[in-house]
Homo-oligomer: A and B are copies of this chain.
Amino acid sequence: MKKNKEDIKKVVLAYSGGLDTSIIIPWLKENYNNCEVIAVSGDVGQGTELDGLEEKAIKTGASKLYVLDLKKDYIENYIWPCLKADAKYEDYLLGTSHARPCIAKALADIAKKEGADAICHGCTGKGNDQVRFELTLKAMAPDMTIIAPWREWNIKSRDEEIDYAEAHNIPLKINRETNYSKDKNLWHLSHEGLDLEKPSLEPQYNKPGFLELGVSPEQAPDTPTYVKIHFEKGIPTAVDGKEMGSVELVEYLNKLGGENGIGLLDIVENRLVGMKSRGVYETPGGAILYKAHNVLETITLDKESFHFKEIIAQKMGELVYNGQWFTPLREAISAFTDDLQKTVTGDVTLKLYKGNMINAGVTSPYTLYDEQTASFGEDEDYNQADATGFINLFGLPIAERAKLAKSWPTEE
Closest 10 CB pairs of A and B: A389-B389, A125-B384, A274-B396, A386-B389, A270-B303, A142-B402, A335-B339, A336-B336, A202-B360, A390-B393
Assembled-state Cα–Cα distance A339/B198 (Å): 27
Closest Cβ of chain B to A295, distance in Å, is 8
A-B contact pairs, 13 of them (CB 8 A): A130-B391, A131-B395, A142-B399, A199-B367, A273-B387, A276-B368, A323-B395, A324-B398, A328-B340, A332-B337, A335-B335, A386-B393, A390-B393
Q: Which residues of B contact A301 (CB under 8 A)?
A: 328
Residues of A near any B CB (own CB < 8 A): 1, 90, 124-127, 130-131, 134-135, 138-140, 142, 148, 150-151, 156-157, 181, 192-193, 197-203, 205, 217-218, 224, 264, 266-270, 272-278, 298-299, 301-308, 310-311, 314-315, 318-319, 322-324, 326-329, 331-340, 342-343, 349, 351, 353-356, 358-363, 365-371, 373-378, 380-404, 406, 408-409, 412
A374 pairs with B275, CB closer than 8 A: yes
Closest Cβ of chain B to A69, distance in Å, is 27
Partner of A130, one of B274, B366, B387, B406: B387
Closest Cβ of chain B to A177, distance in Å, is 16
Closest Cβ of chain B to A351, distance in Å, is 7
B327 pairs with A398, CB closer than 8 A: yes
Assembled-state Cα–Cα distance A279/B369 (Å): 13
Knowing A361-B200, A387-B273 touch, does A336 contact B332 (C-beta < 8 A)? yes
Q: Which residues of B contact A386 (CB under 8 A)?
A: 125, 388-390, 392-393
- For chain A, what secondary structure do more than half of its interface residues adopt (helix, strand, loop), or is it mixed? mixed
B342 pairs with A375, CB closer than 8 A: no
Assembled-state Cα–Cα distance A333/B303 (Å): 15
User: Could you say how many copies of this chain the assembly holds?
Assistant: 4
A387 pairs with B377, CB closer than 8 A: no
Closest Cβ of chain B to A126, distance in Å, is 6
Q: Which residues of B contact A369 (CB under 8 A)?
A: 199, 268, 276, 278
Residue of B nearest to A156 (CB): B378
Knowing A151-B384, A201-B361 touch, does A398 contact B217 (C-beta < 8 A)? no
Closest Cβ of chain B to A245, distance in Å, is 23
Partner of A266, one of B148, B151, B358, B391: B358
Closest Cβ of chain B to A233, distance in Å, is 9
Q: Which residues of B contact A218 (CB under 8 A)?
A: 224, 353
Closest Cβ of chain B to A83, distance in Å, is 16
Residue of B nearest to A367 (CB): B404
B351 pairs with A340, CB closer than 8 A: no
Knowing A142-B402, A310-B314, A354-B217 touch, does A202 contact B393 (C-beta < 8 A)? no
Residue of B nearest to A325 (CB): B398
Partner of A134, one of B130, B308, B391: B391
Assembled-state Cα–Cα distance A107/B356 (Å): 41
B378 pairs with A135, CB closer than 8 A: no
Residue of B nearest to A392 (CB): B386
B404 pairs with A368, CB closer than 8 A: yes
B202 pairs with A385, CB closer than 8 A: no
Q: Which residues of B contact A131 (CB under 8 A)?
A: 387, 390-391, 394-395
Knowing A126-B384, A376-B181 touch, does A304 contact B324 (C-beta < 8 A)? yes
A328 pairs with B354, CB closer than 8 A: no
Assembled-state Cα–Cα distance A270/B369 (Å): 9
Assembled-state Cα–Cα distance A205/B382 (Å): 31
Knowing A276-B369, A314-B310 touch, does A138 contact B398 (C-beta < 8 A)? yes
